[in-house]
Structure 1
Amino acid sequence: MMDRRDIDQIALRLVSLVPPGLARAHQDLQTNFRDVLAQGLRRLELVTREEFDVQCQLLARTRAKVDELERRVAELEAAAAPSGP
């Protein structure tokens, strides 16, 4: 996800596009742009990279456990199957 520095850089770019006649409002515009960008990103309900990585690790462990359980069930089914004549 974007951090505060990224949002500040985008806000500065937007402020640089403001006509020179509005230079007095430069700081107010920068603050407003930063707040609007941050609020918009929060509404997207994005997860951080750390949260994503944790969930990927959890999914990998779960997948490995499911694979192991499937293997054990197959072994048990094979052992319980009646022997041929």
Structure 2
Amino acid sequence: MIDVRNIDELARRLAELVPPGLNAAGQDLANNFKDTLRAGLRRMDLVTREEFDVQRAVLLRTREKLEALEARVAELEQRPASDE
């Protein structure tokens, strides 16, 4: 899930960029910024950090197994035909 604090902070910073004469609309703009940012991020079909970390761990385990199998195949290929 997207960290709401980061979205809130970004929306607050965007609202601060509004000219001083429009401060009355500042909170409304901040809320609109938040909604727009959240909607945009949802459309991006992002994965959570937890999902990313799980898949990274799976990839690392798979890579380790592949390297072990490659080493084993290389070892077997080095054996003379009479040892098989």
TM-score with structure 2 setting the length: 0.74
Residue 42 of structure 2 aligns with which residue?
42
Aligned positions of 1:1-85 closer than 5 A: 3-79=3-79, 81-82=81-82
Q: Distance in 2 between matches of 1:19 and 1:78?
A: 75
Q: Distance in 2 between matches of 1:80 and 1:28?
A: 78
SS at match of 2:47: coil
SS at match of 1:46: coil
Indicate the percent of aligned positions where both proteins have the same amino acid. 60
Higher-Rg member (1/2): 1
Alpha-carbon distance, 1:2 to partner? 5.1
Instruction: Calculate the aligned-residue CA RMSD, in Å.
Output: 2.4
Q: Which amino acid aligns with 2:3?
A: D
